[in-house]
Structure 1
């Protein structure tokens, strides 16, 4: 349960705040690899650079939204099992954590989105996996 001064929407903004810099770093790393590993890197470099520009714009918009809502992330750290952010939202202190597996999955989805790939297949496979997981959790 969130404190009365923090909405679910406020809390939900922390997830992309963690993920977007990770996605940007992954694109940057991949860009450097592609530049040296591919004979004609220019089309790939252009595609990834455009995706990086979109990530940067979204991160800027997110930071502006933080300012409007009075959200301040004062600690973001890599833990043994994932990432943890400590933040203030209009005077209330909260923690947001993400496990590595979720970061990898959500990061991959965001990378596809920013590259302009068709997200219908990704969403369909997530729906199927969720349904399978729900069936496993049901008592016999």
Structure 2
């Protein structure tokens, strides 16, 4: 509580809008501080998508090298998956930027991949176990693949 809070004299004074916004930002605790669980999920995804693109690129190069009757279709399929991952990655980066969150390069220690991030002035590390990342990547890749095979899934009927 400041000295002026209880003083009735200051209630009638005018306040510029930019000063009002600064005052509200300073007093609003939700704008400053740690990332929410949704934002941590977004940070995890922005860490995961480049790994998914690298894995897809390796699969694409392998598909190009092998002689196969369906080689052209495998290549097109992998490129479709990579396009969707790239679109999601750009949208996610745009959303993180709008929320004033920056994610920096990684370091690995004892099978855990750490990324440093700054969320509205609060700096912290995000760590994910390599095996957890692998399982999440395989789950996401399966979801991307099924979305290509079945672009408009019909919801199950209720009986």
Check conservation: 2:96, 2:102, Cα contact below 8 A.
Answer: yes
Q: 1:105 maps to which residue?
A: 135
Q: 1:31 maps to which residue?
A: 60
Mapping of 1:11-90 within 5 angstroms?
11-40=40-69, 41-90=71-120
**How many angstroms apart in 2 are the aligned matches of 1:43 and 1:53?**
15
Per-residue deviation, residues 67-107 of structure 1 (Å, max 9, x unmatched) = 11000012323434031110000000111111111011001
RMSD: 1.8
**How many angstroms apart in 2 are the aligned matches of 1:21 and 1:52?**
10
Gaps of 5+ in 2: 1-31, 150-159
SS in 2 for 1:116: helix
Per-residue deviation, residues 29-87 of structure 1 (Å, max 9, x unmatched) = 01111111232310100111000000000000000011110000123234340311100
SS in 2 for 1:11: helix
Number of aligned residues: 116
Distance apart, 1:111 and its partner CA: 1.0
**How many angstroms apart in 1 are the aligned matches of 2:145 and 2:109?**
28
Determine which structure has greater relative contact order: mean sequence separation of CA pairs < 8 Å that are 6+ residues apart, divided by chain length. Answer: 1
Check conservation: 1:72, 1:88, Cα contact below 8 A.
Answer: yes
**How many angstroms apart in 2 are the aligned matches of 1:21 and 1:6?**
21
TM-score (norm 1): 0.76
TM-score (norm 2): 0.67
Q: 1:5 to 1:101 in 2, by over 3 A?
A: closer
